[in-house]
Amino acid sequence: MNQREKEAYLREYSILKAQGKPFFPYAVAKDSLMGLLVVVVIIVLSLLFGAQLGPKASGATTTYVPRPDWYFFFLFQLLRVIHPPGFLGVATIGIPTLGMILLFLLPFYDRSAERRIERRPIAVATLVFVVVAMALLTLRGAAAGSPTALTISAPAAVKAAGKGAVSEFYAGRAASSDVGCGACHTIGTAGNPGPGPALTHVGSRIPLAGIERTLVNPTAPMPSFKGLPPKELTAIATFISDLK
Amino acid sequence: MSEAPPRPRRRRGPRLPKPPVPPAFLPRPLPPGTQRGAPRTALDHAAESGKVVVDWIDERTQLSGVTRWVMFRKVPRGTNWFYTLGSATMFAFLAQAVTGVFLAMYYRPDASGGAYESVRYISTSVFLGNFVRGMHKWGATVMVVLVFLHMARTFVWGAYKYPRELNWVIGVTLLILTMIMGFTGYLLPFDERSYWATIVGVNINGTGPVIGPYLSDFLRGGPEFNATTLSRFYAIHMLILPGAIAGLILAHLYLVTKLGTTAPPWVKATPEEPALGEETA
Ligand code: HEM
């Protein structure tokens, strides 16, 4: 926008403003009506759906699904979709930060004087892209976060080791399902493809002791599971190390 | 020979818009013979006392000028219902403030079980407690939705362009603070779901480049998730952020008043219509 365009805009605007109505009472009436509607909607939502309180946080739990409030689903899902190995930090914080910076600076790189949306094709394309992407990510995030039950069956090596090993495997599988490893890892066909790596064959890469160490002292964003009862921790570690 | 035109009297200060009083309510001329300003009936006396009080306050605060500037300014031709989205967001924020104060009367930021118990107490025992909690919870959703809709409105209108760039920047800050409100509030009930969602959220922060680890250390109040974390989130959620948001809303609204809201971009001024100076005519 150059000086001439700025002045033209201000001139035009002062005419339109002069031809308008006073804020009080016309805009005030509309705003108040809208404010009333907002409060009514909140009251109705509260009456219909209320507020739940889950089980008390213990830090050592057997049932959890790390799910934020729905308006963060798109962010969570974004982190699941984009997880280049080695660049996790860039993806997790980098992409949202980049989005924020682009949003902040919008008035400084979109400097055209045109305001009519039908003559701003790039703005329309961006708007459509962002809205569709956020809607899809939110929907998929809503579908993905829920139960992370594992379905993988015992590999041949475990079966060969006898009945005891097989039942240990399934006990560990149940514990891992409950704790929700699938929220961040793929195990067999279940679980989310990130932010953690797939664990389907992790046992061939990391020994039992290494897995136990990971569970107690992991790299962020994986939470530590050192609060779990030792028996459960061992069951999970054994199950994971059986995945070869 | 003609008289020189009278020199226009210089006004002091800006010209303030006049209230849009309908003609029927304008003061009538007094009947002949009555003394100007002298109260005649009891009703006059009552009306006069109200005026005296307002005048007394105004003489000391000089607020009437600001009020006239805010209330009687004109909104441009073509203003429609989409322009109520901003104030709707503000009403949602105010509703959050009110319900939040009531929740704060019972809530205890105690990670060793007190927080959870106090929320359970609100939900089960306090009169209308669960209703107010529900309002606060759903109010957050409503506010987030409205803030996005309002942003979409200003984006589609091109309202972020000259001269309103700064108000867009303030707006983005408000959007981010609103989201952080949602994030910090989510932990407070301290049930399983909120606890784990927050741990994961804070840890994700920690993976960020450069400031990531410092940010999550600050949020946790140390390298581990502990009792300080909850009181820290509580202070952020109920003191720091609401204060910051309220202040920024005031700045936002000051700029809205100062610059005026945009006219819809498809509304064009018709050149033959009278231009500048009209508003004070
Ligand atoms: C707590 C959140 C917010 C509140 C309470 C708020 C309030 C308002 C109000 C009352 C107006 C007057 C006109 C209207 O209602 O449309 C306004 C205008 C404006 N807002 Fe916001 N707003 C908020 C967030 C935002 C956000 C997130 C953005 C964009 C990033 C934004 C950008 C703007 C702009 C550019 C205007 C000028 C619009 C025009 O002149 O037509 N605001 N805001």
Contact between chains at A69 and B268 (C-beta distance less than 8 A): no
Confirm whether B34 is domain-assigned. Answer: no
Same domain, A163 and A141: no
Closest CA to A101 of B177, B210, B176: B176
Q: If you take atom 26 of ligand 1, which residue's CA is the nearest one?
A: B171
Lowest mean pLDDT among A89-98, A231-240, B182-191, B232-241: A89-98
Q: Based on the domain organization, do A200 and A136 belong to the same domain?
A: no
Interface test with chain B among A37, A46, A101, A111, by most B beta carbons within 10 Å: A46
Q: What's the CA-to-centroid distance between B171 and ligand 1, angstroms?
A: 6
Q: Are residues A136 and A161 in the same domain?
A: no
Of residues A154 and B59, more confidently modeled: B59
Q: Which of A68, A94, A120 sits opposite B201 (nearest CB)?
A: A68
Mean pLDDT score across all residues of chain B: 86
Say if B62 falls within a structural domain: no
**CB of B196 closer than 8 Å to CB of A184:** no
Say yes or no to pLDDT of B111 above 50: yes
CA B85 to CA B93: how far, in whole Å? 12
> Which ranges constitute the DSSP H helices of B18-84?
42-61, 63-71
User: Is the backbone peptide bond immediately before B274 cis, with ω within 30 degrees of 0?
Assistant: no
Q: Structural domain of residue A224, as residue ranges?
A: 156-241
The whole-chain average pLDDT of chain A stands at 84
B63-72 average pLDDT score: 91
Taking residues B4-28, report their average pLDDT.
72
CATH number reported for the structural domain that contains residue A225 in this entry = 1.10.760.10
Distance from CA of residue B249 to its chain's centroid? 5
Substitution target in B89, B91, B175 with the highest count of A β-carbons within 10 Å is B91
Structural element, H or E, at residue B75:
strand B74-75
ipTM confidence score: 0.85
CA angle in degrees (0–180, nearest 5) for B252-B258-B264 = 85
pLDDT of residue A28: 96
Considering only CA atoms, which residue is closest to atom 7 of ligand 1? B86
Pick the most confident of A81-85, A95-99, B255-259: B255-259
Residues 182-211, chain B: which have Cβ within 8 Å of A? 182-183, 186, 189-197, 199-201, 203-209
From CA B142, how far away is CA A237, in angstroms rounded? 43
Distance CA A138, CA A10 (A): 41
Last residue of a domain, one of A92, A113, A147: A147
Residues near B217 by beta carbon (within 8 Å), at least 6 away in sequence: B206, B223
Q: Give dist(CA A46, CA B132) in Å, integer.
A: 8
Q: CA-to-CA distance for B103 and A65, rounded, in angstroms?
A: 26
| Look-up of token digits 């002949």 | B32
Residue A106 in any domain: the answer is yes
In Å, what is the CA distance from B235 to each residue of A109, B137, B188, B249?
Answer: 37, 18, 11, 20
> Which mutation among B93, B154, B181 tests ligand 1's pocket best, with the greatest number of atoms within 8 A of CB?
B154
- Does one domain contain both A110 and A181? no
Q: From the CB of B181, is ligand 1 less than 6 Å away? A: no
Taking the Cβ of residue B130 and every Cβ of chain A, the question of whether any pair is shorter than 8 Å is answered with yes
A160 pLDDT band (50/70/90 cuts)? confident
What distance in Å separates residue B195's CA from the closest CA in chain A? 6
The DSSP bridge partners found for residue A187 are A190
Q: Which two tokens stand for residue B143?
A: 């506010």
- From the CA of A31, give the closest atom in ligand 1: 15
* Exposed / middle / buried, residue B258 (Cβ in 10 Å: 0-12, 13-18, 19+): exposed
Nearest CB partner across the interface for A57, out of B17, B131, B191: B191
Q: Does B146 contact ligand 1 (Cβ within 6 A)?
A: no
Is residue B22 situated within a structural domain?
no
pLDDT score recorded for residue B160? 96
Do both A117 and A160 map to the same domain? Answer: no
Other Cβ atoms within 10 Å of A70 Cβ, number: 14
Q: Is any atom of ligand 1 closer than 6 Å to the C-beta of B167?
A: yes
Percent of chain A with pLDDT over 90: 37
Q: Average pLDDT, stretch B27-47?
A: 73
Residues A111 and A182 in one domain: no
CATH classification of the domain holding A127: 1.10.287
Q: Do residues A126 and A190 share a domain?
A: no
Cα–Cα distance for residue pair A199/B232, rounded to 1 Å: 35
For residue A23, is it within any domain? no
Q: Specify if A20 maps to a domain.
A: no
Q: What average pLDDT does the segment B151-163 reach?
A: 96
% of chain B residues with pLDDT over 90: 56
Count of domains for chain B: 1
Position B253 in a domain: yes
- Ligand 1 touching residue B184 (CB < 6 A): no
CA of B148 vs chain A CAs: smallest distance (Å): 10
Tell whether A49 is covered by a domain.
no
What pLDDT, on the 0 to 100 scale, is given for residue B217? 80
| CA atoms of B149 and B167, how far apart (whole Å) | 16
From A74, A190, A175, A178, select the one nearest A134 (Cα to Cα). Answer: A74
Contact state of B74 with A23 under an 8 Å Cβ cutoff: yes
Residues of chain B with Cβ-Cβ distance to A216 below 8 Å are: none
pLDDT at B250: 98
Domain identity same for A164 and A111: no
Whether B123 is covered by a domain: the verdict is yes
pLDDT in tens, A96-111: 888 899 999 999 999 9
Reply yes or no on whether the pLDDT at B141 is more than 80.
yes
Parent domain of B139: 80-257
Residue A146, pLDDT score? 44
Q: Which residues of A touch B73 (CB under 8 A)?
A: 22-23
- In tens, the pLDDT along A33-53 reads 999 999 999 999 999 998 888
Judge contact between B259 and B160, C-beta under 8 A: no
Please state whether the predicted TM-score (pTM) of the whole model is above 0.80. Answer: no
- Among the candidates A147, A174, A201, a domain finishes at A147
b/e map of A205-223 (b: 16 or more CB within 10 Å)? ebeeeebbebbeeeebbbb
The total number of structural domains in chain A stands at 2
Assess if residue A54 is contained within a domain.
no
- What confidence score (pLDDT) does residue B163 get? 94
User: Is residue B92 in contact with ligand 1, taking CB distance under 6 Å?
Assistant: no
Segment B79-108 shows an average pLDDT of 97
Torsion of CA A16, B165, B258, B10, to 10 degrees: -80
Nearest chain A residue to B131 by CA: give it: A46
Q: What is the CATH number of the domain that holds B179?
A: 1.20.810.10
Is residue A237 in some structural domain?
A: yes
Separation of CA A43 and ligand 1 centre (Å): 24
pLDDT of residue B66: 92
Residue B23 lies inside a defined structural domain of this protein = no
Inside any domain, residue A28: no
Say if A66 is an interface residue toward chain B (CB within 8 Å): yes
Inside any domain, residue B207: yes
In 3-state terms, what secondary structure has residue A97? helix
B115: pLDDT strictly greater than 60: yes
Q: At residue B41, does pLDDT exceed 80?
A: no
**3-class DSSP string for B93-125:** HHHHHHHHHHHHCCCCCCCCCHHHHHHHHHHHC
In-domain check, residue A37: no
Residues A164 and A143 in one domain: no
Whether the predicted pLDDT of B205 surpasses 90: no
Lowest mean pLDDT among A47-61, A222-236, B62-76, B199-213: B199-213
Q: Is residue B106 part of a domain?
A: yes
pLDDT for the residue B70: 92
